[in-house]
Amino acid sequence: MKAKRSLQDGLILEFDTALRSIFGGANAHRSIPEVVGNSGAVLDAREREHAAGLMRVNHVGEVCAQALYQAQKLVARNAEIQDMLEHSAREEMDHLAWCETRLQELGSHTSYLNPIWYAGSFAIGLAAGLAGDKWSLGFVAETEKQVELHLSSHLNTLPAEDQRSRAIVDQMRMDEIEHGQEAIQAGGTILPTVLKRVMGTLSKVMTSTAYKI
């Protein structure tokens, strides 16, 4: 049985998570995905820059995920849903750490706008959570669906030789599918089409900006 955490301990841990999400130093619970095939391929400057841009986008996505999950956990009505969100958030923290590691390996950096991405996502997550658990879970499911599509597109455009990045992205994609399915099974409602489109538009703004900055 999981020991109940004090309010003070909980706040400290959540604050630590926020700092690690924004400024770096995320801790992974799982090892970085292993590479199948040639892991020592050398990328040219253009390939390295493109791979770094995509991994920076993925890192920003995980910064946003931490903010969303933190906000939604804060206002979730059901303890089981809180536990589910916390489990998903831990796996998203793995993704955050993996992307951060890969960006360092590529000689690049995380987005300079991470504080903005985090703050905006926290506000959105809070609004989704306050709408009720069914809407909150529906938001999780739709978010994960859109992230899955982004990751699939990255697998199509990452340099074929960059097996290190591809292994990370593929594992992330599988985890996102699982998180979305869990949210629907837990009672998440299907979001209105107009809301899905708004989410898609915001996502495009984020990805196009994070690729460069």
Binding-site entries for Fe cation? 62, 92, 95, 144, 176, 179
Q: Are 109 and 103 in contact (CB under 8 A)?
A: yes
* DSSP classification of residue 162: -
Rg (CA), the chain: 17
Enumerate residues 6+ apart whose C-beta is below 8 A from 168: 32, 33, 55, 58, 95, 98, 99, 102
Question: Do you know the residue count of the chain?
Answer: 213
CA 97 vs CA 2, 27, 45, 166: distances in Å = 25, 6, 24, 15
Task: Give the residue carrying structure tokens 């669906």.
Answer: 145
* HSE toward the beta carbon, residue 98, CA cutoff 13 A: 24
Are the C-beta atoms of 161 and 111 separated by less than 8 Å?
no
In angstroms, the CA 204 to CA 201 distance is 5
Could you give the 3-state DSSP secondary structure of residue 30?
coil
Residue pair 69/81 in contact by the 8 Å Cβ criterion: no
Give the residue ranges of the annotated binding site: 62, 92, 95, 144, 176, 179
